[in-house]
Each structure stands twice: as structure tokens, then as C-alpha cells.
Amino acid sequence: MKLSDMQTSDEVLAEDLKDSAFRAEWERTALARAIANQVIAYRANHNLSQSQLAARLGMRQPQVARLEAAEHNPSIETLIRLAGVLDIEFAIDIRPAARPTRLVNKRAQTTAALSVTSVGTTEVLVAAGA
């Protein structure tokens, strides 16, 4: 198979999202994926192992692994800890899908937006930055 014949990751995802069970799980873990991306990026940029990052966060290594796996949405307490220790700002906007974003600034809606996901009649925008 030629490289040009292969599907892009966006094409594969679009196909997978046609499955209602996959779509539901994708929507449920939108926040977890956005946070995982930030944690992984921080760890890579600072050349840290999961154990070293866990020590900085006052956690155990398996907790960092779970954050990076993005299978469960982190608690507000975890987000507060991440923001304080890693110096990352999080903006989370949860609103009815039909209503425009008003509380999150333009930067968060564009360049810093990590995830914008519709969950039923609700839309969730997650933005993060250092």
C-alpha cells in the first residue's frame, strides 16, 4: 500500500465517529484528552518521567499514567493541582450548544482551544496554555 493511499488520522476519526458508541465515548472523554495532551506536552518539554512528574505533583506514578491515558475526566481538584504546579492555565466553557461563547476570551476560542465537543445539546470548549 502506498502512503498516498492511506487515510489521514482525521479521516479515520471521522469514520469512527459514525459509530454511536464510539462517538459517545469520544464526547465523554473530550476534557480528559485535552488535559492529557497538556500533561504529556509538559512532561516531554521538561524531560520528565511519569514518576518524576508525579513527585512534582504530589501524586503516584499510576495517577499520572491515568491522566495521560485520558480515559477518565480529571476532578476539579486535579485541575487545580496541575495549574498550580505546572503553571498551566485552563479555561473550560460548558454551555448550551445553541448559545455562543461569552465567558471565554477570543484567544481561548481560537489558538488555545484544545477541544470543542458537542455532548447532546451541550457544547464543551476546553482551552489550556502555559
Cell of 73: 475526566
Q: What is the pLDDT of residues 38-70, one digit of tens each?
A: 899 999 999 999 999 999 999 999 999 999 999
Q: 3-class SS at 2?
A: coil
- Measure the CA–CA gap between 67 and 81, rounded to whole angstroms: 13
CATH superfamily of 9-129: lambda repressor-like DNA-binding domains (1.10.260.40)
Question: Which pLDDT score is estimated for 47?
Answer: 97
Closest Cα to residue 116, out of 128, 104, 127?
Answer: 127
Query: What percent of the chain is predicted at pLDDT more than 70?
Result: 72
Query: What percent of the chain is predicted at pLDDT more than 90?
Result: 32
Give the start-to-end residue ranges of the domains of the chain: 9-129
How much is the CA Rg of the chain, to the nearest whole Å?
Answer: 16
Question: Which pLDDT score is estimated for 84?
Answer: 87
pLDDT band per the 50, 70, 90 thresholds, residue 113: very low
